[in-house]
Amino acid sequence: MSSGTAVSVSRPSDKRPGSPLSFFEFWPGWLFYTPVVIHWLLLGLRYGDFSLPTAANPRISTGGLCGESKLSILDQVRPEGRAFFAQACGFKAVADGAEDAEQAMARRGLHYPVVAKPDIGCNGTGVRLIQNRTDLTRYLSEFPPGEMIVLQRYIEAPNEAGIFYVRHPEEARGRITSLTIKQPPVVIGDGRSSLRQLILTDRRARLVPHLYLHRLEDRLDTVPPQGEPVRLVFVGNHCKGSIFQDGRDLITPALTEAIEYLARAIPEFYFGRIDVRFDSVAALRQGQDFSVIEVNGSGSEATHIWDPRTKLLDAWRTQFFHYGAAFRIGSANRRRGFPSSGVRAMYRDWMNQRRLMAMYPLND
């Protein structure tokens, strides 16, 4: 595995026929996740602990199920793995704290542009690309005071992927159980149509306009020049409008070896999704030229289920498998002396995360 970069051709955009959305892709959460919750409750009864997945990654708060600190995970990375993680710093939000934030950046060797994100959060909420001090000042003015912000080096590699890793504590090696290519939705200007019109006539975006129109409100009446691509969302998150493509065909022994190396660089990490930015599919298959931008624990999903080709039953089977694995790993770690958080603490952290997410700025 290399920590360098190489310019190469990225995987082409998906041009497959058929619906650009699966019929369940944007169902209300309660509808899609009801069978998953029932499965979770049955597993809790079987193992005698509804919070057992919080022991799946014992060195991460709640195992990464909810309310965990992104900085605390990055700070745990052993020296041999740090070169492959995008460098980051953290500081508490203060409305007039841009200069202090820049000093914190300088101490970590960071410079604009950087990605700003909440230390506690999920689903891309509050994530923005910060190009300069003006952007940073605006972000700080909108962020809840006193809460921790992460500023992370912006990885300019053109592609993003979510790679799910699972290893039972008694196994010598883990495996990649899911790989998702994340693509930003893009419309192309024709020199005549407004951005609003381009969104409302795009094959996919017109089906979920609420994901884009509110956030792009101040640009909707502009007319992009002929041939100019306009990226509709920055953050690589499905519920924020990014396009997810099943990339399990890209899993190779070389990539598995690279992810195993990185997972072992995080103490007692057994279950979760490692999000990376990478230069080319060819390099990714070789386990080279990618940078880790985030590590998600037992609350993360195998996001290939949001590929429009995925069938509903297959999506549910994938959820059942992964959360079943989280319970099995948590049970093994409990036998090793690592307790779960307990339902009360799990609920408290979940509610705190929800409270914070309601206050975060709008994402890019």
Distance CA 263, CA 250 (A): 19
- Residue 20 in any domain: the answer is no
Look at residue 3 in the predicted model and tell me its pLDDT. 41
For residue 348, the number of C-alpha atoms closer than 13 Å in the C-beta half-sphere is 7
Distance CA 359, CA 207 (A): 27
Residue 11 has pLDDT above 70, yes or no: no
- Is there a cis peptide before residue 224, judged by omega within 30 degrees of 0? no
Mean pLDDT of 47-54: 98
Same domain? For 59 and 207 the reply is no
Last residue of a domain, one of 174, 208, 231: 231
**Per-residue pLDDT band at 1 (split at 50, 70, 90):** low
CB 66 within 8 Å of CB 346: yes
Q: What would the pLDDT profile of 218-256 be if each residue is shown by its tens digit? A: 999 999 999 999 999 998 898 889 999 999 999 999 999
Last residue of a domain, one of 172, 207, 231: 231
Same domain? For 168 and 312 the reply is yes
CB 244 within 8 Å of CB 301: no
Look at residue 236 in the predicted model and tell me its pLDDT. 85
Look at residue 95 in the predicted model and tell me its pLDDT. 84
Same domain? For 287 and 335 the reply is yes
**Per-residue pLDDT band at 2 (split at 50, 70, 90):** very low
- Residue 328 in any domain: the answer is yes
Same domain? For 95 and 227 the reply is no
Look at residue 100 in the predicted model and tell me its pLDDT. 93
- Residue 280 in any domain: the answer is yes
Counted domains in the chain? 2
- Residue 4 in any domain: the answer is no
Q: What is the DSSP letter of 205?
A: G
Residue 296 pairs in a beta bridge with: 273
For residue 226, the number of C-alpha atoms closer than 13 Å in the C-beta half-sphere is 0
Same domain? For 238 and 341 the reply is yes
Kindly list the distances between the CA atom of residue 196 and the CA atoms of 12, 20, 163, 221, 305, in Å, as whole numbers in the listed order. 25, 19, 34, 6, 29
Same domain? For 244 and 338 the reply is yes
Q: Smallest Cα–Cα separation from 168: which of 328, 19, 44, 316?
A: 328
Same domain? For 125 and 220 the reply is no
Residue 16 has pLDDT above 60, yes or no: no
Mean pLDDT of 346-356: 96
- Residue 255 in any domain: the answer is yes
Which structure tokens are listed for 66? 């909810």
Same domain? For 133 and 193 the reply is no
Look at residue 120 in the predicted model and tell me its pLDDT. 97
Same domain? For 89 and 146 the reply is yes
Q: Smallest Cα–Cα separation from 282: which of 9, 2, 3?
A: 9
Residue 8 has pLDDT above 50, yes or no: no
Mean pLDDT of the residues in the chain: 93
Residue 222 belongs to what domain range? 186-231
Q: Of all residues in the chain, what percent carry a pLDDT higher than 90?
A: 91
Residue 5 has pLDDT above 50, yes or no: no
- Residue 110 in any domain: the answer is yes
Look at residue 17 in the predicted model and tell me its pLDDT. 59
Report the relative pairing of strands 271-278 and 290-296 from DSSP bridges: antiparallel
Look at residue 147 in the predicted model and tell me its pLDDT. 96
Same domain? For 87 and 216 the reply is no
Q: Cα dihedral sign for 195, 307, 22, 9?
A: positive
Q: What would the pLDDT profile of 93-135 be if each residue is shown by its tens digit? A: 998 899 999 999 999 999 999 999 999 999 999 999 999 999 9
Same domain? For 214 and 306 the reply is no
Residue 14 has pLDDT above 60, yes or no: no
Phi, psi of 126 (to 5 degrees): 80, 10
Domain CATH for 174 = 3.30.470
Mean pLDDT of 32-37: 98
Phi, psi of 182 (to 5 degrees): -105, 125
- Residue 13 in any domain: the answer is no
Look at residue 12 in the predicted model and tell me its pLDDT. 41
Burial 120-135 (b: 16+ CB within 10 A, else e): bbbebbbbbebeeeeb
Residue 64 has pLDDT above 60, yes or no: yes
Same domain? For 244 and 348 the reply is yes
**Per-residue pLDDT band at 19 (split at 50, 70, 90):** confident
Last residue of a domain, one of 171, 201, 231: 231
- Residue 362 in any domain: the answer is no
